[in-house]
Protein backbone atom coordinates (compact mmCIF):
# COMPACT_ATOMS: atom_id res chain seq x y z
CA UNK A 1 0.00 0.00 0.00
CA UNK A 2 1.03 3.51 -0.70
CA UNK A 3 3.01 4.96 2.15
CA UNK A 4 1.87 8.40 3.22
CA UNK A 5 3.81 11.54 4.00
CA UNK A 6 4.24 12.62 7.60
CA UNK A 7 1.25 14.94 7.61
CA UNK A 8 -0.87 12.23 5.99
CA UNK A 9 0.13 9.91 8.80
CA UNK A 10 -1.01 12.35 11.44
CA UNK A 11 -4.20 12.88 9.49
CA UNK A 12 -4.87 9.14 9.55
CA UNK A 13 -4.38 9.18 13.29
CA UNK A 14 -6.82 12.03 13.70
CA UNK A 15 -9.33 10.31 11.45
CA UNK A 16 -9.07 7.21 13.59
CA UNK A 17 -9.75 9.21 16.73
CA UNK A 18 -12.69 10.95 15.09
CA UNK A 19 -14.05 7.65 13.83
CA UNK A 20 -13.64 6.07 17.25
CA UNK A 21 -15.54 8.95 18.84
CA UNK A 22 -18.36 8.56 16.36
CA UNK A 23 -18.73 4.80 16.71
CA UNK A 24 -18.21 4.83 20.48
CA UNK A 25 -21.09 7.30 20.79
CA UNK A 26 -23.26 5.17 18.54
CA UNK A 27 -22.58 1.65 19.77
CA UNK A 28 -20.96 2.16 23.15
CA UNK A 29 -17.32 1.54 23.91
CA UNK A 30 -17.48 -2.20 24.67
CA UNK A 31 -19.64 -3.11 21.71
CA UNK A 32 -17.56 -1.13 19.28
CA UNK A 33 -15.14 -3.31 17.33
CA UNK A 34 -11.88 -2.07 15.94
CA UNK A 35 -13.09 -3.17 12.52
CA UNK A 36 -16.04 -0.77 12.79
CA UNK A 37 -13.73 2.09 13.70
CA UNK A 38 -11.32 1.25 10.89
CA UNK A 39 -14.19 1.02 8.44
CA UNK A 40 -15.58 4.38 9.55
CA UNK A 41 -12.14 5.91 9.08
CA UNK A 42 -11.73 4.29 5.66
CA UNK A 43 -8.73 2.17 6.64
CA UNK A 44 -8.14 -1.33 7.98
CA UNK A 45 -7.42 -2.54 11.49
CA UNK A 46 -3.77 -2.57 10.59
CA UNK A 47 -3.79 1.21 10.77
CA UNK A 48 -5.26 1.15 14.25
CA UNK A 49 -2.68 -1.31 15.54
CA UNK A 50 0.03 0.82 14.01
CA UNK A 51 -1.03 4.00 15.80
CA UNK A 52 -2.45 2.53 19.01
CA UNK A 53 -1.74 -0.41 21.23
CA UNK A 54 -5.37 -1.53 21.52
CA UNK A 55 -8.88 -0.20 22.12
CA UNK A 56 -8.28 1.34 25.57
CA UNK A 57 -5.22 3.09 24.20
CA UNK A 58 -7.26 4.58 21.38
CA UNK A 59 -9.98 5.50 23.84
CA UNK A 60 -7.64 7.44 26.11
CA UNK A 61 -6.02 9.14 23.13
CA UNK A 62 -9.51 10.29 22.19
CA UNK A 63 -9.98 11.71 25.69
CA UNK A 64 -6.64 13.51 25.70
CA UNK A 65 -7.72 15.46 22.66
CA UNK A 66 -10.42 17.27 24.59
CA UNK A 67 -9.78 16.94 28.31
CA UNK A 68 -6.74 19.15 28.63
CA UNK A 69 -7.96 22.14 26.60
CA UNK A 70 -11.39 21.81 28.18
CA UNK A 71 -10.12 21.97 31.74
CA UNK A 72 -8.12 25.02 30.81
CA UNK A 73 -11.01 26.83 29.21
CA UNK A 74 -13.33 26.24 32.13
CA UNK A 75 -10.85 27.29 34.78
CA UNK A 76 -9.83 30.45 33.01
CA UNK A 77 -13.37 31.77 33.32
CA UNK A 78 -13.48 31.28 37.04
CA UNK A 79 -11.35 34.01 38.57
CA UNK A 80 -10.99 36.53 35.82
CA UNK A 81 -14.44 37.57 34.71
CA UNK A 82 -15.19 40.03 37.45
CA UNK A 83 -12.69 40.40 40.24
CA UNK A 84 -15.13 42.42 42.27
CA UNK A 85 -17.71 39.62 42.20
CA UNK A 86 -16.38 36.06 42.30
CA UNK A 87 -19.91 34.64 42.13
CA UNK A 88 -20.16 35.99 38.61
CA UNK A 89 -16.98 34.13 37.80
CA UNK A 90 -18.46 30.86 38.99
CA UNK A 91 -21.60 31.59 37.06
CA UNK A 92 -19.65 32.35 33.88
CA UNK A 93 -17.65 29.19 34.27
CA UNK A 94 -20.79 27.10 34.52
CA UNK A 95 -22.30 28.77 31.50
CA UNK A 96 -19.08 28.09 29.64
CA UNK A 97 -19.42 24.37 30.32
CA UNK A 98 -22.90 24.39 28.85
CA UNK A 99 -21.75 26.43 25.88
CA UNK A 100 -19.03 23.88 25.19
CA UNK A 101 -21.51 21.02 25.24
CA UNK A 102 -23.87 22.88 22.95
CA UNK A 103 -21.53 24.30 20.37
CA UNK A 104 -18.47 22.07 20.40
CA UNK A 105 -19.58 18.78 18.89
CA UNK A 106 -16.33 17.03 19.70
CA UNK A 107 -16.57 18.01 23.35
CA UNK A 108 -20.25 17.09 23.52
CA UNK A 109 -19.77 13.67 21.97
CA UNK A 110 -16.81 12.96 24.22
CA UNK A 111 -18.84 13.91 27.29
CA UNK A 112 -21.64 11.71 26.02
CA UNK A 113 -19.33 8.73 25.74
CA UNK A 114 -17.78 9.26 29.15
CA UNK A 115 -21.14 9.71 30.85
CA UNK A 116 -23.43 7.31 29.02
CA UNK A 117 -21.51 5.01 26.71
CA UNK A 118 -18.70 3.63 28.82
CA UNK A 119 -18.43 1.10 31.63
CA UNK A 120 -16.06 1.96 34.44
CA UNK A 121 -14.38 -1.42 34.84
CA UNK A 122 -10.96 -2.97 34.27
CA UNK A 123 -8.81 -0.73 32.08
CA UNK A 124 -11.49 1.95 32.14
CA UNK A 125 -11.79 2.04 35.92
CA UNK A 126 -8.86 4.45 36.02
CA UNK A 127 -11.00 6.92 34.12
CA UNK A 128 -13.25 7.21 37.14
CA UNK A 129 -10.46 8.39 39.40
CA UNK A 130 -9.30 10.80 36.71
CA UNK A 131 -12.76 12.33 36.48
CA UNK A 132 -12.94 12.52 40.28
CA UNK A 133 -9.55 14.18 40.47
CA UNK A 134 -10.46 16.79 37.88
CA UNK A 135 -13.65 17.40 39.82
CA UNK A 136 -11.72 17.92 43.04
CA UNK A 137 -9.50 20.49 41.43
CA UNK A 138 -12.56 22.28 40.13
CA UNK A 139 -14.08 22.13 43.61
CA UNK A 140 -10.98 23.67 45.16
CA UNK A 141 -11.17 26.57 42.74
CA UNK A 142 -14.83 26.98 43.51
CA UNK A 143 -14.08 27.02 47.21
CA UNK A 144 -11.55 29.81 46.84
CA UNK A 145 -14.04 31.82 44.81
CA UNK A 146 -16.73 31.38 47.44
CA UNK A 147 -14.29 32.37 50.18
CA UNK A 148 -13.47 35.49 48.25
CA UNK A 149 -17.18 36.20 47.87
CA UNK A 150 -17.65 35.89 51.60
CA UNK A 151 -14.83 38.27 52.30
CA UNK A 152 -16.53 40.76 50.04
CA UNK A 153 -19.70 40.27 52.03
CA UNK A 154 -21.61 38.99 49.00
CA UNK A 155 -22.34 35.53 50.34
CA UNK A 156 -25.50 34.80 52.23
CA UNK A 157 -25.10 34.36 55.99
CA UNK A 158 -24.69 30.85 57.32
CA UNK A 159 -23.18 29.46 54.13
CA UNK A 160 -19.92 27.56 54.44
CA UNK A 161 -17.70 28.13 51.38
CA UNK A 162 -16.36 24.59 51.30
CA UNK A 163 -19.78 23.04 51.55
CA UNK A 164 -21.14 25.53 49.07
CA UNK A 165 -18.39 24.65 46.62
CA UNK A 166 -19.16 20.97 46.91
CA UNK A 167 -22.82 21.62 46.38
CA UNK A 168 -22.04 23.61 43.26
CA UNK A 169 -19.87 20.79 42.03
CA UNK A 170 -22.63 18.29 42.71
CA UNK A 171 -24.99 20.62 40.88
CA UNK A 172 -22.88 20.93 37.76
CA UNK A 173 -22.22 17.20 37.73
CA UNK A 174 -25.93 16.45 37.88
CA UNK A 175 -26.66 19.14 35.32
CA UNK A 176 -24.20 17.72 32.83
CA UNK A 177 -25.60 14.22 33.23
CA UNK A 178 -29.19 15.33 32.87
CA UNK A 179 -28.38 17.64 30.00
CA UNK A 180 -26.82 14.74 28.14
CA UNK A 181 -29.65 12.34 28.98
CA UNK A 182 -32.26 14.83 27.85
CA UNK A 183 -31.64 14.15 24.18
CA UNK A 184 -34.86 15.66 22.85
CA UNK A 185 -34.26 18.71 25.02
CA UNK A 186 -37.75 18.92 26.47
CA UNK A 187 -36.81 18.67 30.11
CA UNK A 188 -33.46 20.18 30.97
CA UNK A 189 -31.68 21.59 27.95
CA UNK A 190 -33.98 24.57 27.47
CA UNK A 191 -33.80 25.56 31.13
CA UNK A 192 -30.20 24.76 31.92
CA UNK A 193 -28.87 28.32 31.73
CA UNK A 194 -31.58 29.80 33.91
CA UNK A 195 -31.02 26.92 36.35
CA UNK A 196 -27.42 28.02 36.71
CA UNK A 197 -28.55 31.58 37.32
CA UNK A 198 -30.98 30.39 39.98
CA UNK A 199 -28.30 28.27 41.59
CA UNK A 200 -25.99 31.24 41.89
CA UNK A 201 -28.70 33.71 42.87
CA UNK A 202 -29.54 31.59 45.91
CA UNK A 203 -26.03 32.16 47.22
CA UNK A 204 -26.19 35.93 47.21
CA UNK A 205 -26.92 37.74 50.43
CA UNK A 206 -29.88 39.44 48.83
CA UNK A 207 -31.62 38.19 45.75
CA UNK A 208 -30.75 40.64 43.03
CA UNK A 209 -33.10 39.67 40.26
Question: Helix axis angle, 125-151 relative to 161-181, nearest 10°?
Answer: 130
The interface with a second copy within residues 20-59 (CB under 8 A) comprises 26-31
Q: Does 39 bind DNA (CB under 7 A)?
A: no
Cβ at position 12, least distance to a second copy in Å: 27
The interface with DNA within residues 50-89 (CB under 7 A) comprises 50-51, 54-55
Q: Which of 35, 38, 32 is nearest to 13 (CA)?
A: 38
Is residue 127 a contact partner of residue 134, using CB atoms and an 8 Å limit? no
Could you say which of DNA, a second copy, none residue 163 binds, taking C-beta under 5 to 8 angstroms by partner kind?
A: a second copy
Over its C-alpha atoms, the chain yields an Rg (Å, rounded) of 20
Position among 22, 88, 173, 193 found at the interface with a second copy (CB under 8 A): 173
Cβ at position 116, least distance to DNA in Å: 19
**Part of the chain binding a second copy (CB under 8 A), chosen from 7-15, 78-86, 143-151, 185-193:** 185-193
Is residue 79 a contact partner of residue 145, using CB atoms and an 8 Å limit? yes
Q: How many residues bind DNA (CB under 7 A)?
A: 25
Distant-in-sequence, close-in-space partners of 92: CB < 8 Å, separation ≥ 6: 77, 78, 81
Amino acid sequence: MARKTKSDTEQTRQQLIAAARKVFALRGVSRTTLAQIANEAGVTRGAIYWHFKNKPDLFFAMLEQVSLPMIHRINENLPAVDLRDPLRGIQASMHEILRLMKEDEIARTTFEIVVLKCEYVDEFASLESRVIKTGCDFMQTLKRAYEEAREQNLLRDGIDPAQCAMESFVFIKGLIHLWLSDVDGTIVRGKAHSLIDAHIAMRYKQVLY
